[in-house]
Amino acid sequence: MLIDTHAHIMFPEFDEDRKDVIERAMDAGLERIVCVGCGAASSEAAVKMAKEDKDGFLYATVGLHPYDAMDVTDGLLAEWEKWIVADKESGARKIIAIGETGLDYFKSKVDPEKQKFSFKKHIELAVKMGLPVIVHNRSADEDCLGLLKEFSRGGELYKKIVQDCGCDGENMIEPVKAVFHCYGSTLEFARKVWEAGFMTSFTGIITYPSAKELREVVKEVPLDKFMVETDCPYLAPQGHRGKRNEPSYVVETAEKIAEVKGMGLSDVEKQVMENTKKFFGF
């Protein structure tokens, strides 16, 4: 059993055969798929898909990718907050994280200050709602980690949120939980991420012959600090490289982790499931 913790199956790339894609994921032994929003429209689509799914197989997140950080408004965040509260009250618990959000100093055309503003707003919402954060980080290692640390228990922004809500931080709000999705930075930075208590999640990139440095990260990752994902439709693993990626292929990433860490596949799966359920509160 595995969970694809980061899939964009609401994208138009899956319009033709979404049902088959989901079925293949079930056949491949996946237990769940987390449909990750990365803009206002795709977040809405992810939530709709998760709500309509009656098998307890699809879950959703809401967020703005750093490419779309300029779209952040109080109105949008308030709307998401309403959705999350209603979802919790209904007992469905289908909206399970905030993101993907984060910082991208490599490709995003949005001004870094605006990106930081959006990232902060997302973390704030996550802390308030007691949900974890899915972080996209590209060429922004220290700023990403720094911001998350401010929101961790004892950090300045964390204290401010507790004060603003007038609630008892010890009982009512979780310190921020976060995953560096599609981990792609150095081993040295990964150590800092783990030390701060955050998770790393691996995609099919670790199966690419050129990804030697990343496999060093996999080799060293503590057993309780990793999850797996596809980031589909992008980044198909080596066995399907160049094609559209889909959730069932996440097995290939787990197999590579088993190989690199010298573990049995079933032990990796067991560990991944434990980590994933703890992280998302399944």
Q: Which is nearer to Zn ion, 68 or 87 (CB)?
A: 68
Shortest reach from residue 221's CB to Zn ion, in Å: 20
Site string for Zn ion, 15-44 (x = CB under 5 A): ------------------------------
- Closest C-alpha to 179, from 157, 198, 192: 198
Residue 93: Cβ-neighbour burial (10 angstroms; 0-12, 13-18, 19+): middle
Taking a C-beta distance cutoff of 8 angstroms, is the pair 51, 90 a contact? Answer: no
Q: How many residues bind Zn ion (CB under 5 A)?
A: 1
Q: Which range binds Zn ion by CB under 5 A, 68-76, 184-192, 225-233, 269-277?
A: 225-233
Shortest reach from residue 101's CB to Zn ion, in Å: 11
Shortest reach from residue 99's CB to Zn ion, in Å: 9
Q: Is 246 in the site for Zn ion (CB under 5 A)?
A: no
Q: Which is nearer to Zn ion, 38 or 157 (CB)?
A: 38
Q: Which range binds Zn ion by CB under 5 A, 47-55, 81-89, 223-231, 253-261?
A: 223-231
The C-alpha torsion from 76 through 230 and 54 to 89, rounded to 10°, is: -40
- Closest-by-Cβ residue to Zn ion is 231
Shortest reach from residue 171's CB to Zn ion, in Å: 33
Q: Which residues contact 113 (CB under 8 A, 6 or more apart)?
A: none
Token pair listed for 9: 């199956």
- Closest C-alpha to 100, from 139, 74, 126: 126
Residues of this chain, 251-270, that bind Zn ion according to CB under 5 A: none
Shortest reach from residue 118's CB to Zn ion, in Å: 16
Q: Is 231 in the site for Zn ion (CB under 5 A)?
A: yes
**36 phi, psi to nearest 5 deg:** -95, 120
Q: Which is nearer to Zn ion, 9 or 218 (CB)?
A: 9
Contact footprint for Zn ion (CB under 5 A) = 231
